[in-house]
Amino acid sequence: MQRRELFSSLASSIKGDKKQEKVLRPPYFGDESLFQSECSKCDAKCATVCEEEIIKIADDKTPYIVFSTNGCTYCDKCAIACEFGVLNLKDKKILNATITIDRQKCLSWNHTMCFSCKDPCLDNAIDFAAMFMPVINDKCTACGFCISRCPTDAIDIKVL
């Protein structure tokens, strides 16, 4: 469990927040309901074949993605390994999330040169205005490689 997940979980329990938190699913699904009906029949092959080791299995046996160390390369292996049609190559799309940069936490936005987020970005999705001020552009595929590289946890992901 990431530090961010732990504190979010604790904050929700303190507030009495009982709403279901959205989870980030692998990018190869068409029907969210299939996770609940089909994944319980499986032995988590999608997580086993993930070379980046970002697919985790929840208590309800459904896969979700955690970007604590790596990002998604969209390699197709999880979809190919799925025997129950939950993940399917024909449903390939970018992850159902948006990536944002918290300007208050970001070193560059606070006048300390840092390119930690830009360096691992495979899609050239981070622009820098005036040497500082990183901004996520429309090339972002929400792959998540930038998230774990940020030294101040200034990059947030929001599941849509």
At 20, the pLDDT band (50, 70, 90 cuts) reads low
pLDDT value, residue 115: 92
**40 pLDDT more than 60:** yes
Q: Of 95 and 131, which is predicted with more confidence?
A: 95
CATH of 3-91, one of 3.30.70, 1.20.120, 3.40.720, 1.10.10: 3.30.70
Q: Domains of the chain: which residue ranges?
A: 3-91, 95-160
Q: Is the pLDDT of residue 15 over 80?
A: no
Residues 132-146, mean pLDDT to the nearest whole number: 94
Report how far apart, in Å, the C-alpha atoms of 85 and of each of 10, 81, 120, 145 are: 35, 10, 32, 27
pLDDT value at residue 129: 87
Q: Is 85 left (phi over 0), alpha (psi -120 to 50) or beta?
A: left
- Give the pLDDT mean for 125-140: 91
For 24, 81, 82, the CA distances from 42, given in Å and listed in that order, are: 19, 10, 8
Lowest-pLDDT range, 27-31, 109-113, 128-132?
128-132
Q: Is the pLDDT of residue 148 over 50?
A: yes
Residue 18's pLDDT band (cuts 50, 70, 90): very low
Please name the residue that has the structure tokens 């329990």.
13
Chain segment 61-111, per-residue pLDDT in tens: 999 999 999 999 999 999 999 999 999 999 988 898 999 999 999 999 999
pTM, full prediction:
0.81
Note the pLDDT of residue 141: 94
CB neighbour list of residue 114: distance below 8 Å, 6 or more residues apart: 106, 107, 108, 151
CATH class of the domain at 95-160: alpha beta
Q: State the chain's mean pLDDT as an integer.
A: 88
Domains 3-91 and 95-160 share a fold: yes
Q: What is the pLDDT of residue 96?
A: 87
Residues with Cβ within 8 Å of 27's Cβ and at least 6 positions away in sequence, in order, are 72, 74, 92, 93, 94, 95, 96
